[in-house]
Chain A
Amino acid sequence: MIDERTEDLAALYALDLLEGAELASFESALAGDPALAHLVGELRSSSTALAYTAPVVAPPADLRRRVLASIDAQLAAEPEDARILRPSFSVFRTLLPWAAAACFALTAAWFGQLYLSARSEAGLLRDTQALTELSLKSAQTQLEAERILARRQYADQEKIVVETRAQVTQRDTQLAALAERVTSLSAQLKSEGDLAQLKITALASMLKNSPQALAVAVWSPEKQEGILRAEKLPALASDQDYQLWVVDPQYKDPVDGGVFTVDPQTGEARLKFKGKQPIKEIAAYAITLERKGGVAKSAGPFLLLGK
């Protein structure tokens, strides 16, 4: 019984499609298996029938002449003796022992071929092993190369991280500077806003002996403080002070703004003042001449007045 795998090989052998070790192995099996040899013969004969499936086309007439001319040329080249000795059946009878010897020689040659095939197969296996080892070395080299590459990539990535960190720090610094700038600008804006809110009032002289006396008061409602600057006020006696009053409609009496003296040479004075009570709205300023240290409630005449 021939199994399917052997039938596969027999079909391929019949079509001359076996090669190398497969061919040698199959021929070895074929040599000892008459049934397989019979199958191969049948399959080879069947395969050659495929010649009939090729499209029918007549060979050129000249081809026949060419073939026969080649045969003529061979016959002409052969010596007469050789022509007589051309294999004929009577000659076969006389040459039987030689034919038997030739068969033995062929058999020996065939076994030799088998031996050579086996040796060739072993060589192939050695080559395969060498190739496998080479492949392994190649794979190891490739792995090492990839490891080096990965390491380089990691180092590059690390460098990028450091650079990115430095950039982030720089940005932070820039952001801090910007924030500071924003704060400064905000403060400036606020300050400018404060200035816009400042209330400035000029005080005119009510004095007959110093009509040119003049004062300017600047008040910040938010800070509840102000500055008074006066000029050309008459010099004071040592037991006297000028006293500033702030008139706020919410109070019945003017609110005490503090006392001050003047430079006897220039008649100039400067007072940073605050109201003794919270001031909501300033309707007017007034400066009076009071005893040293001032009074809680003014009773004297106004020396300067500003609304």
Chain B
Amino acid sequence: MVLMFPCPTAAFAISRDQASGSSRPPDRVRMSDPVATPPPDERQQADARLVRRIAEGDKNALAELYDRFSRPLYATALRVVQDPAEAQDVVHDAFVTLWEKAASFEATRGSAFSWAVTLVRNRAIDRVRMRRRRAELLTASAPSDLGYDESNTGPGADDTASLGDEARAVRAAVAALPPDQKRALELAFFSGLTQQQIAEKLAEPLGTVKARIRRALLKLRDTVARRL
């Protein structure tokens, strides 16, 4: 029986077989290195090995994983919380959690990168929602734009030259989505809004928004899932 847990750390629980896996030294490849990007499977295996070393208490492995993941994780946190100081706190907390929970990572349930992104995104969204609740309490009503500025995508939006193959592939796949699906998916991932709030923001029926998110995510899966 396969059990799924809402907690991101539980969702990536490590298996016993993998725990006893090889002790091959990890590949020292940065995700953002456009030249030396290894094939996805190889990169994922390298990430998983690093996580296993972290589970054994290897601080150097954590430093290496930080070097591989910190750019996209920080960019994600910044996109969600839209505040550099808060984004740094989110990434810091996520890596500390990763250090503490590395033993629960299970590579068969997803990549180490997906796990790390989930950790960062959940923390960032928690902060955004807490901030929004505080604002609601202060104003006694929800702010009309629900506090998410889509236009504020931060610096370096076109900095594709420094991206790896995976990042370029994902960006191309997302850019190829129909605009309404793209907007719904980005709001669902980055805004921290609920389904209902996304529907209100897009001024569309909830059913339409759900269908757009599903179609967009399925297309993204078909296009890039195997690369990640």
Contacts and interface: CB of A to CB of B under 8 A. Distances in A.
Interface string A68-82: 101110110000000
B210 A11 contact: yes
Contacts of A64: 63, 66-67, 70
Nearest to B67: A64
Contacts, number: 211
Interface in B1-49: 1-6, 11, 16, 19-20, 32
A56 B159 contact: yes
A243 to B, nearest CB: 114
Interface stretch (B132-140, B141-149, B216-224): B216-224
Contact of A45 (B62, B110, B190, B210): B110
Interface string A31-51: 110100100111111111111
Contacts of B225: 42, 45-46, 49
A112 B76 CA distance: 35
A32 B2 CA distance: 8
Interface string B71-102: 11111101100001001100110011001101
B154 A57 contact: yes
Interface stretch (A83-91, A142-150, A190-198, A215-223): A83-91
A88 B96 contact: no
Nearest to B211: A8
A299 interface: no
Contact of B56 (A55, A89, A99): A89
A208 interface: no
A71 to B, nearest CB: 5
A63 interface: yes
Interface of A is mostly: helix
A48 B114 CA distance: 5
Interface in A58-114: 58-60, 63-64, 66-68, 70-72, 74-75, 83, 86-89, 92-93, 96, 99, 107, 110
Contact of B74 (A63, A93, A107): A63
A44 B92 contact: no
Given A7-B214, A63-B88, A44 B11 contact: yes
Contact of A41 (B109, B174, B188): B109
B79 A54 contact: yes
B205 interface: no
23 contacts: A4-B211, A8-B211, A17-B213, A40-B4, A42-B221, A43-B218, A47-B189, A48-B118, A48-B121, A48-B228, A50-B185, A51-B72, A51-B76, A51-B121, A52-B171, A56-B32, A56-B75, A56-B163, A57-B156, A59-B74, A67-B95, A75-B59, A92-B19
Interface of B: 1-6, 11, 16, 19-20, 32, 52, 55-57, 59, 62-63, 66-67, 70-76, 78-79, 84, 87-88, 91-92, 95-96, 99-100, 102-103, 109-111, 113-114, 117-118, 120-122, 125, 153-157, 159-160, 162-163, 166-167, 170-171, 174, 185-186, 188-190, 194-195, 210-211, 213-214, 217-218, 220-221, 224-225, 228
Given A11-B218, A17-B188, A67-B92, 17 more contacts: A4-B211, A12-B213, A19-B194, A46-B217, A50-B186, A50-B189, A50-B220, A51-B113, A52-B170, A54-B76, A54-B78, A55-B157, A56-B157, A75-B57, A89-B19, A89-B56, A92-B19
